[in-house]
Amino acid sequence: MDEKSLYAHILNLTAPWQVKFLSLDENAGSVTVTVRISENARLACPTCGKTCSVHDHRHRK
C-alpha cells in the first residue's frame, strides 16, 4: 500500500474524495494531508439529500 492509499484509508476517504498530496514536517512532528474531490463530482445535500454539483474549491487548513 502506498502512502496516499494508507492516509486515504486512515481518513476513511471514499470516491470521489482522494489524497492529493502529503507533506511531512519532522521538526514540527506533523503530517499535512491535502484532499481533493473530482471537479465534476456531485454530492448529496446533508439537509434535503438532493444531489448537487460542487462549487467551493477553496484551499483550507
Query: What phi, psi does 26 have (nearest 5°)?
Result: -65, -35
Q: Is the pLDDT of residue 57 over 70?
A: no
* Residue 59: pLDDT band with limits 50, 70, 90: confident
pLDDT in tens, 23-39: 999 999 999 999 998 87
The C-alpha torsion from 50 through 53 and 59 to 61, rounded to 10°, is 20
pLDDT in tens, 13-27: 999 999 999 999 999
Average pLDDT, rounded, for the chain? 90
Predicted structure pTM score: 0.72
